[in-house]
Amino acid sequence: MGPGDAIRGALRYWERRQAALSNNLANAATDGFKGERVFGRLLEDMTLRAASRTDAQPGALAQTGRALDVALTGRGYLVVSTPDGLRYTRSGSLSVDDAGRLTDARGNPVLGDSGPIVLPRGAVEVTQDGAIRVDGEEVARFRIEVPGGGTRLERRDGLYFVPDGAGRRLPQDEIAMKGGHLEQSNVDPVGALVELLDIQRAYSATLRTAQVLDGVMETTARDLGRVR
């Protein structure tokens, strides 16, 4: 592997970090959004490969006073049903559709222990351990899951999933929720913007190095042609 391959690998790494940070900034005001962290891995051939993970740190809580706004204050994710299968979300801005089903902001049904949650009319209350009460009577419990050991979350269309479906349900005594609140994004917009500017400078410097190397290679090839 030559120096050109190493530089191209570095450029791809900076591009990947820049894309992730740009997406983080775009979602800095999105409820329940978790930032993506990109880091580099140096392979045996000395190329830099980008890898990423979801930043699971909790976001700050914002009080809304709306009964169908729920925040997870501990581990885990709400489980929703989508046309592509089960997905995870921390965005707790929920609604009730015409059929009485509890849905997320995208209209996906929210799952409880026994399937999609259907609510009768009445005053809704969410308890700290994930129970849903209507007019004081428990009617459902949120299904809260975490990725199984050794698995990682994948992100797609604003939702999360475990590639092999290896999710694990949290037992009731480990669930922590708060009604009338929303978890805010865990992205620090100022810090992300500073990091983005640093990355843009690093990318520009790497690109200049690539251009210099291309010039050297072109000159060398031309000189060798003259020798022949």
> Tokens representing 25?
């900034």
Residue with token string 């308890």: 127
What are the residue boundaries of the structural domains of the chain, listed by start? 3-56+187-227, 61-183
In the predicted model, what is the mean pLDDT of the chain? Answer: 87
Alpha-carbon distance of 153 to 147, in angstroms, equals 7
Q: Which pLDDT score is estimated for 7?
A: 76
How would you write 158-225 as a 3-class SS string? CEEECCCCCEEECCHHHCCEEECEEECCCCCHHHHHHHHHHHHHHHHHHHHHHHHHHHHHHHHHHHHH
Q: Which pLDDT score is estimated for 222?
A: 57
Q: Which pLDDT score is estimated for 4?
A: 59
The letter for the amino acid at 51 is A
**Which pTM does this prediction carry?**
0.80
Residue 2 has pLDDT above 60, yes or no: no
> What residues pair up with 40 in beta bridges, in sequence order?
50
pLDDT level of residue 13 (50, 70, 90 thresholds): confident
The sign of the dihedral angle between the CA atoms of 215, 221, 222, 223 is positive
What is the mean pLDDT of the segment spanning 71-96? 95
- The least confident of 12-26, 110-124, 207-221 is 207-221
